[in-house]
Structure 1
Amino acid sequence: MLIVRAGKRTDIDALIKLAAEAGTGFTSLALPPEALEEKLIKSEKAFGLPGAEQTEDVYQLMLEDTETGQIVGCSAVKAMIGVSKPYWDFKIITLAQHSTEADRRFDMDALLLVNDFAGATEVGTLFVSEAGRGSGAGRLVAQSRYLLIAAGRARFGEKVVAELRGVVEEDGSSPFFDHVSRPFFRMDFDEADALSAATDNQFILDLGPQHLLYVDLLPEAARNVIGKTHRDGGGARKLLEWEGFHYDRYIDIFDGGPLVSAWTENIRTLSESRTVTVRSATTMGGVPGIVSTDRFEDFRTCQAHAVMDGDVIGLSHDVMEALNLTDGDRARFWRKQG
């Protein structure tokens, strides 16, 4: 059985392995081992704190195969972005060009460096290893993030954003970075990516473009990848769009990948889920869905079939045990439609 649970310091070896498999351009995992361990330590502490308000904590989630004990995936939720550390993106704006004398009227797109999502929550770090793919693992670890937000609603913002990895070539190069960002930062893509993950991003303000960048003046190789998703990110984008996220012409400043956003209350998994009371059920079958503990300090989720009886659902012994639930406990259930 696959479960998603709160990350712990003891997951460090598994997280290092996942980071290595994720490869170039996966900014949130592009960290040295000591920094990854620090993320787990801070996350474990944050899960245990009483949550009455939004903070800048990052909650790390791990996808575990309960039969083998192997960690086969991860994801994370940053409760608040863009406040103490700016969250830089390029916003694509349209400028209207018009001249009566020349009899010309056309629009031109331009890139503007912005920090428009201060105070929002970010979901990211979604990665499932080759060993864990299949049987809905990616969907489970993705949807678990929104059930986490539901379990501690006061800890998170009114809007949720997600950055999708942009186009990166087989050799690790980024067409957008090479033609747009490199002239400003004078460093390799990997160095800029790692620096962004590990610092407060002051270097972006110091070195980044201070004026508009006209898209029509960029090389074709850069224009062609603006707002495009990495070849391995198509599934993640579809999941986000299914949840109600939309692309509003914000892109990553390094690889040109799209940023998508949604109002928190409109996110499908969150809005369709409901709190229930659980009990052990011996009857096989039931309706499919995802069950979460709805306890923030001991957050766990897994796929399950539930026997519905109003606000009470029956779950198999294996599911109850995997989620540390007992008869009469409150939980949250998202019912799969169709």
Structure 2
Amino acid sequence: MLMVRSARSADHSSFTALAASAGTGFTSLAVSADALAEKLSRSEQAFAGQIDDRSDAAYQLMLEDTETGKVLGTAAVKAAVGIKKPYFDFKIMTFAQASREANRRFDMEAMMLVNDFAGCTEVGSLFVSDAARGRGAGRLMAQSRYLLIGADRSRFGSRVVAELRGVVDEHGESVFFNHVTRPFFRMTFDEADRMSASTDNQFILDLMPTHPIYVDHLPPAVREVMGRTHAQGVNARKLLEWEGYEYHRYVDIFDGGPLMDCPVERIRTLSESRVMTVGTGQGERVEAMVSTDRLEDFRLVRCDVALDGEILVLGDDARRALGLTKGDAARVWVNS
């Protein structure tokens, strides 16, 4: 059985291995082993409710095979981005150009550096190893983040944002970065990627232009990848759209990948879930995702359950994995 659970400091070696296999462009994992250890430590504090300021709280999740105990994937939820550390994006805007004397009227697109998602919750850092592929692991990890948010809505923002990886070639090069961002940073894609993940992003504010960057001045190859998702992220985008996310013409400043957002109350997994009481009964058996509905020691599995009114009937394996007993509350999303 695959189980999603709160990360702990003891996951460091597994976390480091996952980060190493993620590859170029996975900004949140492109950090040192010490930085990954710090992520795990801060996550433990967040799950334990020891961080009062939402902008400091980030919840790291691990995907574990309950039979082998091996960690096969990871994902994260940042409670509130863009407050202490700016969450910079390019907003693609349309400017009307008109001249009565020249008898011309047309629109031009330009990109502006913005921090429009300040205070929003971000879901990201979703990565599963090859060993977990084909088992529905990616979707399990993705949906688990919303049931985590549902466990205590007061700790998260009213809107959720997700950043999708942009187009990068087989050599790890981004045509968007090379033509748009690199001239201002004078560093490689990997260097900028690592600095974004490991610093307070002051370097972006220092070096990026405050004036518009006109899209018509960019080569066709750059314009073609703006707002496009990396081939490996197409399914992730479809799942976000299924949840209710929309693309509002925000793109990543490094690879031009799309940012999508959604009000919390419209997220499908969360809105369709409900809290039930673990017990015994004879209800109809269905496949469902079941979480502990508490942040401390958060756990989630996908399993067959029986629903008998407000009573949730779990099998022995699922009950043991979740650590739930009769009378405990659980959050349930039925596979539809």
Asked whether the equivalents of residues 57 and 79 of structure 2 are also in contact (C-alpha less than 8 Å), the reply is: yes
**What SS class does the counterpart of residue 250 from structure 1 fall into?**
strand
Work out the CA distance in 2 between the residues paired with 1:212 and 1:157.
29
Separation of aligned partners in 2, 1:138 and 1:225: 24
Q: Which residue of 1 aligns with 2:311?
A: 312
In 1, Cα distance between equivalents of 2:211 and 2:51: 40
Counterparts of 1:242 and 1:56 in 2: how far apart (Å)? 29
Quick check: 1:12 aligned with 2:12? yes
1:2 has 2:26 as partner? no
Deviations 1:167-205 (A, max 9, x none): 111111110000000000000000000000000000000
**1:106-121 equivalences in 2 (<5 Å):** 106-121=106-121
Distance 1:51 1:96, change over 3 A: same
Shift of 1:145: 0.2
**Is contact 1:277-1:312 (8 Å) kept?**
yes
Corresponding residue number in structure 2 for 1:134: 134
Structure 2's unaligned 5+ residue stretches are none
Give the structure 2 partner of residue 23 of structure 1.
Answer: 23
8 Å CA contact retained: 1:280, 1:314:
yes
Q: CA RMSD of the aligned region, Å? A: 1.4
In the alignment, structure 1 residue 162 sits paired with structure 2 residue 182: no
Tell me the equivalent position of 2:273: 273
- Mapped contact 1:290–1:335 kept (Cα < 8 A): yes
State the partner residue of 1:200.
200
From the superposition, tell whether residues 280 and 300 of structure 1 become closer, same or farther in structure 2 (CA, over 3 Å). Answer: farther
C-alpha deviations, 1:97-123, integer Å up to 9, x for none? 112222222111000000001111000
Hey, what's the Cα distance between the residues in 2 that align with 1:146 and 1:82? Answer: 20
The superposition leaves residues 253-295 of structure 1 with CA deviations (integer Å, 9 ceiling, x where unpaired) of 00000000000111111111000001257x7971111000001
Q: Give the distance between the partners of 1:327 and 1:156, measured in 2 at CA.
A: 29
The aligned amino acid for 2:332 is: F
User: Do structure 1's residue 336 and structure 2's residue 335 form an aligned pair?
Assistant: yes
Confirm or deny: 8 A CA contact 1:164 1:233 kept in the other structure: yes
8 Å CA contact 2:280–2:311 kept in 1: the answer is: no
What's the TM-score once normalised by structure 1's chain length?
0.97
Letter in 1 for 2:286: V
Identity of aligned residues (%): 61
Measured in 1, the distance between the counterparts of 2:263 and 2:47 equals: 23
Structure 1 counterpart of 2:326: 327
- Aligned partner of 1:251 in structure 2 is 251
In 2, the alpha carbon distance for the partners of 1:79 and 1:56 equals 8
Counterpart in the other structure of 2:101: 101
1:173-192 matches, within 5 Å, as 173-192=173-192
Contact kept, 8 Å, 1:52 with 1:154, in 2: the verdict is no
> Structure 2: which amino acid aligns with 1:210?
T
Contact kept in structure 2, 1:280 and 1:320, CA below 8 Å: no
What displacement does 1:308 show?
0.9
The 8 Å contact of residues 179 and 218 in structure 1, kept in 2 or not, is answered as: yes
DSSP-derived class of the 2:12 partner = helix
Amino acid in structure 2 at the alignment position of 1:41: S
Change in Cα spacing, 1:52 to 1:19, as seen in structure 2 (3 Å) is closer
Please, which runs of 5 or more residues in structure 1 have no aligned partner?
none
Deviation, structure 1 residue 331 = 0.5
Asked if the contact 1:51–1:154 (Cα under 8 Å) also holds between the matched residues in 2, the reply is no
Counterpart AA for 2:107: D
Report the CA distance between 1:52 and its aligned residue: 7.6
Q: Distance in 1 between matches of 2:102 and 2:301?
A: 64
Structure 2 partner of 1:303: 302
Distance 1:172 1:37, change over 3 A: same
1:327 positional shift: 1.1
Which residue of 2 is the match for residue 237 of structure 1?
A: 237
Distance in 2, Cα, partners of 1:12 & 1:168: 28
Query: Alpha-carbon deviation of 1:56?
Result: 2.4
1:206-242 alpha-carbon deviations (Å, 9 max, x no partner): 0001200000001122111100101111111111111
Q: Give the Cα–Cα distance (whole angstroms) in 2 for the partners of residues 37 and 50 of structure 1.
A: 17
SS at match of 1:297: coil
